[in-house]
Amino acid sequence: MAMTYEARQAGDVTILDISGRIDLGTTIAFGAGGRVPLRTVVHDFAERGHRNIVLNLRDVTYMDSSGIGELVGSVSSARKLGGDLKVVNPNMVVKKLLGTCRLDTVIDVKPDEASALEAFSKMSAKGDKAAGVA
């Protein structure tokens, strides 16, 4: 089963609702059979100015070590372009995998969307204060 996603906006945050499996050889299906890996989708959004990205993993049914690599690549890509990425709603298997690999110290994992949006809001407020914006 190919991975699919739907994108939506919440203020200046882009939320990607991911469905399916994130594993070796699985790419995100685009319309007429085009396929790209998750990190490419994140990179493309960040490159177009969508710097704050949330990956909603609620409908991800499985993830293996290659999927972990895709997540790490996605975070790296977003950060290189001046943004950040947060993961929300991982199921217990994915959450345990992230913890076992200690990636929960590199990837900001939030329990829900509201927590991720609040974290981005706090980051924005800190940036405004540092820039002298009231």
- Whether the pLDDT of residue 134 is over 90: the answer is no
> What percentage of the chain has pLDDT greater than the value 70?
83
Mean pLDDT across 114-130? 79
d(CA 115, CA 21): 24
Amino acid, res. 50 = H
Note whether residue 15 is domain-resident. Answer: yes
Residue showing tokens 């949006």 = 117
CA distances from 5 to 14, 59, 65, 105, 119 (A): 12, 10, 20, 25, 23
Question: Which CATH number characterizes residue 76's domain?
Answer: 3.30.750.24
Of residues 126 and 16, more confidently modeled = 16
Range of the structural domain that residue 50 is part of: 4-115
Token pair, residue 78, equals 């977003």
Quote the distance between the C-alpha of residue 47 and its chain's center. Answer: 14
Can you read off the two tokens belonging to residue 127? Answer: 């940036």
Is residue 129 in some structural domain? no
pLDDT at position 73 is 92
Question: Would residue 55 count as lying in a domain?
Answer: yes
Please state the domain count of the chain. Answer: 1
Is position 41 within any domain?
yes
Q: How confident is the model at residue 48 (pLDDT cuts 50, 70, 90)?
A: very high
Q: What local confidence, expressed as pLDDT, does residue 25 receive?
A: 63
**Dist. CA 46–CA 84, nearest whole Å:** 9
What is the residue-averaged pLDDT of the chain?
85
Dump pLDDT digits (tens) for 66-90. 888 889 999 999 999 999 999 999 9
Q: Which residues on neighbouring strands pair with residue 21, listed in sequence order?
A: 62
pLDDT reported for residue 52: 96
- 93 within some domain: yes
Nearest-angstrom CA–CA distance, 65 and 68: 5
Whether 84 is covered by a domain: the verdict is yes
